[in-house]
Chains A and B, each alone.
Chain A
C-alpha cells in the first residue's frame, strides 16, 4: 500500500487530477449550501455579465438563472452519472468476462459474439436512441451509458481469466472441490482487480463526456441542471454572451482531464510493468 501511494504520487499529473476531482466533489456536495435556491429559478436580471455583481460572480443566463449555481449543481449530475454508470458497466463487464473466460468453449463464443456486437455499435448513437425511447431521466441516462460502455471490461476480464484459469493455484482450488462461483470470486477475480480499476477510472471520464453530449442534445433529466444542458441552452446566444457556453465547457474539460490523469496515475501505480509502453 505504501509503495502504491508512493508510485502514484510520483506522477505529478495524477496528483493534480486528484486535487481537481476533490474540488469538483466539494462543490457538488456543497451546492445546496452555497446556492440554496433552485438552479432553475430566475434570481436576477437576465444576461448579467460575469464579474460585475458579487452576488452572481459568473453572471446570469438569458432567463436570469445564476450560472455559478448551475455549474455547482451540474457537478452533481456529471459525477453521479459518471460514477454510477461506470459501476453498473463494470459489473456487467466483470460478469460476462468472468463467465466467458472461466467456462470457455461455447459459453465463451456466445458471450464474446455479444460483446463484439455491443462494441461495434456506435456508442453515442445507441445512447441517444436508448434515452430517447425510454424518455430522458437520470435512470435512463445511467442505464444507456452503462449498456454501451461494458464491452472493454468484459474483454479485459475474459483475457485475465483465460490466463489465470490454467495457473496452479486455480487448478488446486478445482482439485480440492471448490465450487466454480467460489473459485471465480475468491481465487481469480481478486487477481484481476488492478487492470479493472484502471479501465473503470478511464471509463468515468468517457461517461461524463457522453452524459454532457446527451444533455447538450436535449436528452438530459429535466429536473437536474447539467453542464451539457447549459451549453446547449446558451448555444443560440453565442454571439452576444459567449461566456455562458464557455464556462460549463471548461468545467467539463477540467473534470474529464482530471479523471483521465487519475486513471493514468493508477495505471502507473498498479501496473508498473506496463509503464514502458508509454500510455494508452
Chain B
C-alpha cells in the first residue's frame, strides 16, 4: 500500500487551500471600501439602516474579527454561502442550480481541447520542420494570443448569424419542450460553439506542450534503442514516445483546469449559457457581492478538487514517482 501513502499529505494541502480561500473571501468583504454590512446587502438594501443593523447582528459584525471568521467558516462548511438579497434566495441554492451547466461546458471544453491539442502536437512533432509543423504551430501561436470573448463573438457572427449552422446563445431551444434524445441533440447543438471557442486557447497550449514533450522524449536513449532494434516508426511514436510524452501534458492539464473555469465567465457571458460564470456576470452587474464571492469560492474549490484528482491519477499512472517525491 506504499503507493497511496501520499494521499493524506495531498488531502491536507487541498484542505489548506480551501480554508485559505474561505478566509480570503471573508477578508475581501472586510477590505472592501465601506461597511461590510452594506457590501453584503449589495445595492439592494444598502440605504435601509434597520436592515443593515439586522445584518450586523446576524453575522456578528459587531464582534471581534476572529469570532467573525469562525462564524463565517462554520457557515461555509454547512454550505451556507450567504444570502442574495437581490434574488431573495440563498447563494448556495443559486449556485447549485447553475453548476451542472458549467460542468457540462467546461468538461466538454477540457476533453475537446486536450484531445485536439495532443493530436495536433503529435502531428507537428512527427513532421518537425515541415509545412504541417509550421502551419500547426502558427495556428497555435495565433489562438494563444486571441481574446476568448472576442473569438466567441466572431464565431457567433460567422457560424450563427451568417451561416446559420448553430444557435447563437442559450443552452436549449426556448419553449420547444423537447424530451429524451431530442433534448440531448438540442443541447449538443447549442454546446458546439461555446465548447470550441472556450477550448481553442487551451488547444493551443496543449499543442505546444505536446510537441515540445514529444521532441524531448524522442531524443532519449530508449527510443534510439527501439529504432536500432527495428521497431516500426509508427509503433515507436505511439507505444514508446507518446506514452511518456503525455505525462507532463496531463499535469499541465490539471493546472489549466482553473483557467478553464475562469474562462467560463467570458464564454457563458457571450453565449448566455446558464452556468455559474453567467451568474457571476449578472452578480457583477447587480453588485450582488454575496453571489460574486460565492461563485469565486465554489470555483476555487472545484479547481482544488481537479488538481487533487490529476495529481493522484498522475502518480498512479507513472509508478516512477516516489511517495514522498
> A residues touching B (Cβ–Cβ < 8 Å)?
113, 116-117, 119-126, 128-130, 132-135, 205, 209, 212-213, 216-219, 228, 231-232, 235, 238-239, 242, 245-246, 248-249, 252-253, 256-257, 260-261, 277-280
Contact = CB atoms under 8 A, between A and B. Distances in A.
Contacts of A119: 255
Ranked 7 nearest A-B pairs via Cβ: A124-B262, A249-B150, A122-B262, A257-B145, A256-B145, A122-B258, A278-B212
17 contacts: A113-B16, A116-B13, A117-B20, A119-B255, A120-B304, A122-B261, A122-B300, A126-B296, A128-B292, A209-B145, A213-B147, A213-B148, A217-B284, A231-B149, A238-B153, A253-B147, A256-B147
Interface residues of B, number: 58
B322 to A, nearest CB: 19
A123 B212 contact: no
Contacts of A209: 145, 147
Interface string B133-166: 0000100011011111111011011000100000
Given A132-B292, A235-B153, 11 more contacts: A120-B258, A121-B303, A123-B259, A132-B284, A217-B266, A231-B153, A249-B150, A249-B153, A252-B147, A253-B147, A261-B141
A31 to B, nearest CB: 21
B212 A280 contact: yes
A262 to B, nearest CB: 12
Contacts of B33: 134-135
Given A122-B261, A123-B262, A128-B265, A278 B211 contact: yes
Interface of B: 13, 16-17, 20-21, 28-29, 31-33, 39, 137, 141-142, 144-151, 153-154, 156-157, 161, 208-209, 211-212, 215-216, 255, 258-259, 261-263, 265-266, 269-270, 280-281, 284-285, 287, 289, 292-293, 295-296, 299-300, 303-304, 307
A238 B157 contact: yes
Contacts of B32: 133-134
A252 B147 CA distance: 7
B295 A125 contact: yes
Nearest to A245: B153
| Central interface residue in B145, B266, B295, by most chain A CB within 10 Å | B145
B153 A212 contact: no
Contacts of B263: 124
B280 to A, nearest CB: 7
A125 B262 contact: yes
Nearest to B263: A124
Contacts of A219: 284
A124 B296 CA distance: 10
